[in-house]
Amino acid sequence: MNNLEDDIKANFLTFISTESDLKHAIQSIQIQTENYIQKHAIKSLVLGISGGIDSAFAAALLRPVCDRMNIPLIGRSISIETNTSEEIERSILVGESFCHDFSHMDYSNIYMHFKNILPELDNSLLSKLRTGNCKARIRMIALYDLAQKNQGIVISTDNFTEYLTGFWTLHGDVGDYAPFAQLWKTEVYLASKLLANQNTGNAKKALHVCIDAVPTDGLGISLSDTEQLGVSNYDEADTIFINYFNGDISLENHVLIKRYFASSYKRSNPIMIERKNLLNKH
């Protein structure tokens, strides 16, 4: 049993679901983030806002942190070709509701120029994955430049479900600081509903429309996240993981579990040859 699976068995086999426990989790994330900002003298937080639930949750979660630390939450919605008008509208609503500094940018022309130099693209799934990864990395160039300019860090919006499935792009949408990478996607939805109830006006609306939206990666690979993951919703996905790690071996051939094992290299990135294998000891 590796360390990750030991950790899952110890800490991830139940959901944080009661209001008091969700409040505790939110407050813990915010306090630890404030401590990190203070320790490293960080001057801004930079967030890519997609119109999905994760970046909306990140914005609502971190705005109070930035207010208390007197630093800006800088948000950017960066649309590229396959983003729908609904996604863009949601991202703008989130950004304008929670960020101190926000703008929407369309990088479709930049992406198309770059796409023209990619060899042998077609309509296959592999080509969609290749171009999708490029879109994520183009967005991250812009976010990291903003972070450099504003002496800040880029916020990762990944959750634990995505982490286990490898549902993220290496050197693309990972970021420097992942405040809720150890929350199941189900818990992100639950915590977002709690924050929505604590907000009013457009801020409340922004969270609710993202909660209700069909989750997509915005990369044009499929119509929804759950289609790619082979489940009907994220509650089902998280329950499958919990049951599998609780010993249900009948799930070992489920697409989620196969993705977990197939994406292990991403969770170990970069792969390093251990020094003990380099030493000529007799």
Please report, in tens digits, the pLDDT of each residue of the chain (282 residues total): 468 999 999 999 999 999 999 999 999 999 999 999 999 999 999 999 999 999 999 999 999 999 999 999 999 999 999 899 999 999 999 999 999 999 999 999 999 999 999 999 999 989 998 999 999 999 999 999 999 999 999 999 999 999 999 999 999 889 999 999 999 999 999 999 999 999 999 999 999 999 999 987 666 666 678 888 889 999 999 999 999 999 999 999 999 999 999 999 999 999 999 999 999 886
pLDDT score recorded for residue 77? 98
Kindly report the CATH number assigned to the domain that includes residue 60. Answer: 3.40.50.620
SS3 breakdown of the chain: % helix, strand, coil, rounded to 5?
Answer: 55, 10, 35
| Residue recorded with tokens 């203070």 | 38
Q: In which element (H, E) is residue 77 found?
A: strand 73-79
230 assigned to some structural domain: no
User: How far is it, in rounded angstroms, from Cα 157 to Cα 57?
Assistant: 9
CB 61 within 8 A of CB 207: no
What is this structure's pTM?
0.94
3 located within any domain: no
| SS3 (DSSP) at 48 | strand
- Tell whether 178 is covered by a domain: yes
Q: How far is CA 179 from CA 74, 156, 158, 174, in A?
A: 16, 7, 9, 12
Chain-centroid distance of CA 118 in Å reads 26
> Given this model, what pLDDT does residue 227 score?
83
- Asked if residues 37 and 71 have their Cβ atoms less than 8 Å apart, the reply is yes
Burial (0-12, 13-18, 19+ Cβ within 10 Å), 274: exposed
C-beta separation of 169 from 137 below 8 A = yes
**CB 141 within 8 Å of CB 120:** no
Q: What is the pLDDT of residue 1?
A: 44
Q: Are 120 and 143 in contact (CB under 8 A)?
A: no
Q: What is the spatial distance between Cα 14 and Cα 140, in angstroms, rounded to a whole number?
A: 33
Residue 155's Cβ-side half-sphere holds a number of Cα atoms within 13 Å equal to 33
**Domains in the chain, number:** 1
Q: Which helix (H) or strand (E) holds 14?
A: none
Strand partners, 139: none
Q: Is the peptide bond before 270 cis (omega within 30 degrees of 0)?
A: yes
- Taking the C-alpha atoms of residue 128 and residue 122, their distance in angstroms, rounded to an integer, is 8
Instruction: Report the pLDDT value the prediction gives residue 220, as an integer from 0 to 100.
Output: 62
Q: Is residue 200 part of a domain?
A: yes
Give the whole-angstrom CA distance, residue 161 versus residue 253: 17
In a domain, 100, yes or no: yes
- In 3D space, the residue among 50, 24, 23, 45 whose CA is nearest the CA of residue 34 turns out to be 45
How far is the C-alpha of 20 from the C-alpha of 30, rounded, in Å?
Answer: 15
Structural domain contains residue 168: yes
Name the nearest CA neighbour of 53 among 204, 233, 201, 216: 216
Structural domain includes residue 216: yes
Question: In degrees rounded to 5, what are phi and psi of residue 102?
Answer: -140, 145
Residue pair 107/78 in contact (Cβ under 8 Å)? The answer is yes
Answer whether residue 57 is part of any domain.
yes
CA distance 226 to 215: 8
Domain housing 201: 16-223
